[in-house]
Amino acid sequence: QLQLQESGPGLVKPSETLSLTCTVSGGSISSSSYYWGWIRQPPGKGLEWIGSIYYSGSTYYNPSLKSRVTISVDTSKNQFSLKLSSVTAADTAVYYCASGVLRFLAMDVWGQGTTVTVSS
């Protein structure tokens, strides 16, 4: 059964780049059946989709974050990653990685989430 685990710094300074990794176990990140995504949730607010990457390498980003986001896959490590540049306090959130079934375009497996605080 597919499992996901986020990792990365819990504290990032303003103007720096936030970098998170999601390690996939129980399945291959190269599978053509899945796609991979990042979602965040600021304190007390709703879910915000950040972006997704497909096995073809295609990426889709939230227009509101597109200029600052990069999502990539490392097949050798069975991981995918998120980079968010020029962060501000507004980027403080719980960050989730998730996998979705391509056939249904719905995210059925989620990581537990990792809290990232942007502060000097």
Partner 1 sequence: EIVLTQSPGTLSLSPGERATLSCRASQSVSSSYLAWYQQKPGQAPRLLIYGASSRATGIPDRFSGSGSGTDFTLTISRLEPEDFAVYYCQQYGSSPFGGGTKVEIK
**Closest by Cα among 15, 9, 11 to 88:** 15
Which residues between 85 and 104 bind partner 1 (CB under 8 A)? 96, 100-101, 104
Neighbours of 85 (CB within 10 A): 14
> How big is the chain by its Cα radius of gyration, in Å?
14
- The span of 9-17, 21-29, 56-64, 73-81 binding partner 1 (CB under 8 A) equals 56-64
- The span of 11-19, 24-32, 45-53, 75-83 binding partner 1 (CB under 8 A) equals 45-53
Q: CB of residue 98 vs partner 1: minimum separation in angstroms? A: 8
Smaller CB distance to partner 1: residue 91 or 111? 111
> Sign of torsion, CA 24 30 33 34?
positive
Question: 80, 97 in Cβ contact below 8 A?
Answer: yes
HEC string of 49-65 equals EEEEEECCCCEEECCCC
Smaller CB distance to partner 1: residue 49 or 55? 49
Q: Can residue 31 be called a binding residue for partner 1 (CB under 8 A)? A: no
Q: By the criterion CB under 8 A, which residues form the site for partner 1? A: 35, 37, 39, 46-49, 51-52, 60, 62-63, 96, 100-101, 104-108, 110-113
